[in-house]
Chains A and B, each alone.
Chain A
Amino acid sequence: MATHDLWTPDRLPDPFAGVAKFLFDWIPLLVLVVGWEVASGRAVSESVLPPPTAVAAATVDLFATGEVIPHLAVSLLRVGVGLGLSIAVGVLLGIGMSQSDAVEDFFDVFLSLIYPLPKTALVPLALLWLGIGTKTAVLIVFLACLLPIVMNANNAAENVDQNLIRSARMMGTSDRRLFWKVVIPATIPEILTGIRQAIPFAFISLISAELIASEQGMGRLIRDAGSIGRYPAMFATIVIISAVAYTAVYGFEQIRERVLVWT
């Protein structure tokens, strides 16, 4: 976070400067949390907005009693399988469409039909076909993640630098090998970008599917806790799933940086 304009902790010795800067950067969040703690029970009723301490206690409790574990596990499974499928299919489809006109002509119109459709609108349909539960959630996560991945992979594969391909051909690379030696590696950065764009959609669709059509999972837990007035537990569940989403997003960014040392 670029806050040099405000405060430059250069005067402190290095390790301290680092820590001080970290603390300084996160003061705003601290302010929010403290504000929330103070407001709760004063400005707003504690049941409407439980204080962070209560939420923290509920979080600990959810883990200590093990209540959240099966829900978290099933949610992670759904997000993982849905995203994994969309990566596998999306990459194949995206690159396939760039390599073959027939494939492109066939799938293009479907992609342009589901492109403008908010994928959560398909939850009821999935429910119809697959009933409630994991299959439905996986299908929705899959569909929501598919497009960014297909589109990024397709774009990248279609726009591989002509001169890279020419160079490879000049050095004796045949059509077949070209795909593995040039097209795929040249496309990887964009594929990873597509996945990165897909992750938030994966979580949105997971929670949506679980709110509407599941008896398990974090979305369901949030809804159940809310409907019987266990508000600290409801907020705690939201905090937990948000932390998971946050970790997924920024963790993936780290991984991408590692993988793409060359970009």
Chain B
Amino acid sequence: MDVDVRSLDASSVVDSLKSIYSLVLLLVLWEVVTRMGLIYPYFLPQLSVVIDEFVLLVSSGQMIHAAYLTLMRAFVGLAGAAVAGVVIGILCARNALFEWFFDPIIKIGYPVPVISLVPVFMLWFGIGDVSKIIMVVVGTFWPVAVNARDATRQVDRNLIRSARMMGTGDRRLLWRVILPAASPGIFTGLQIATPIALIITFVFEMVAGGGGLGALEIAGVRGFNSAQTYAVIFAIIAIGLVLDRLLRAARTRLLDWT
């Protein structure tokens, strides 16, 4: 027994080591190689320098403020797209007129590289927050709408039939059956849209400035301070990881029945 337990523990430690050894190796290699001067520091500053820069940016409040701006823009936009996308997606799936009108538009609109509209939005709405937020709405609308539409279309007919049999009327059907049944698909749409919202925000910030992580990152390059660029990328990776985990956790909590 005793031996079993010990070997089990050891193997799980080995497992977790195995899964990150390459990362640790890479980080150590980074520090060593840069310290030995094998890579020109402008291209790859020492890991410790990047970490110092990171700490500096965070403690000076610059990074926090930039992250706030970026996330605010991304999420206000995403919220707008979520509302519009879900409403139109469900209408498309349930109403022939909406389907007729929006289906071709979605078919054409979905593959458009929305990011190419950044200069247009600069022209229309300037370079402030509003412009960025509207851009995020336009860019993330498509995946949300398409997923909401498809999820609604795929609601099991027999669920609707069962509900009707038990006396559920047209109005109530939406809330009682369609929305809950389509909610996993709708959530998937939001999960797809979240990185897109960030992509659009970053690019817009890099092109048009106005603060935010994208601007801070590109400023690192423009000011030849590559440690700053690396530090911002660290922050973006961290934000990406946290968001991804949060979305997954939210999914497990909200949709634990799937």
Contacts and interface: CB of A to CB of B under 8 A. Distances in A.
A–B interface present (Cβ within 8 A): yes
Interface of A: 1-3, 5-6, 25-26, 28-29, 31-32, 48-49, 105-110, 113, 115-125, 127-129, 200, 203-204, 206-208, 211-212, 218-219, 222-223, 225-227, 231, 234-235, 237-238, 241-242, 245-246, 248-250
A121 B202 contact: yes
B100 A117 contact: no
20 contacts: A1-B99, A1-B103, A1-B107, A25-B100, A28-B104, A29-B104, A32-B105, A108-B19, A113-B237, A116-B243, A117-B236, A120-B115, A121-B198, A121-B214, A124-B217, A124-B229, A204-B113, A223-B118, A223-B207, A226-B119
B166 interface: no
Nearest to B121: A226
Contacts of A48: 123-124
B52 to A, nearest CB: 18
B5 interface: no
Interface string B90-117: 0000001101111111011011111111
Chain B interface SS verdict (over half): helix
Interface string B191-204: 00001101100110
Contacts of A2: 99
A59 B117 CA distance: 16
B112 A28 contact: no
A128 B230 CA distance: 10
Given A48-B123, A117-B237, A204-B199, A245 B226 contact: no
Contacts of A212: 203, 206-207, 218
A9 B21 CA distance: 64
Contact of A109 (B22, B119, B196): B22
Contacts of B232: 121
Contacts of A6: 96-97, 99-100
Contact of B22 (A106, A115, A208, A226): A106
A246 B108 contact: yes
A31 B20 CA distance: 55
Given A127-B221, A223-B118, A241-B116, 17 more contacts: A1-B103, A1-B107, A26-B104, A105-B18, A107-B22, A116-B237, A116-B243, A124-B206, A124-B220, A125-B230, A204-B114, A204-B115, A218-B116, A219-B116, A223-B119, A227-B119, A238-B116
| Contact-size category for B | 35 or more
A204 to B, nearest CB: 5
B99 A235 contact: no
A248 B112 CA distance: 11
Nearest 6 pairs of A and B residues by beta carbon: A116-B240, A226-B119, A5-B96, A203-B113, A116-B244, A249-B111
Interface string B223-258: 000100110110011001101100000000000000
Contact of A118 (B120, B218, B240): B240
B23 interface: yes
A49 B123 CA distance: 9
Nearest to B112: A242
A128 to B, nearest CB: 6
Nearest to A219: B116
B196 to A, nearest CB: 8
B122 interface: yes
Nearest to B216: A124
Nearest to A25: B104
B233 A125 contact: yes
A220 to B, nearest CB: 10
Contacts of A249: 111
B68 interface: no
B221 A246 contact: no
B101 A28 contact: yes
Given A117-B236, A118-B202, A110 B22 contact: yes
Contact of B199 (A32, A118, A125): A118
Given A211-B203, A226-B123, A245-B112, A128 B22 contact: no
A176 to B, nearest CB: 27
Contact of B102 (A28, A218, A226): A28
B221 A208 contact: no
A121 B23 contact: no
A3 B237 contact: no
Q: Which of B19, B123, B213 has the largest count of A CB atoms less than 10 A from its CB? A: B123
Contacts of B20: 109
A258 to B, nearest CB: 19
A250 B42 CA distance: 43
Contact of A226 (B43, B99, B107, B120): B120
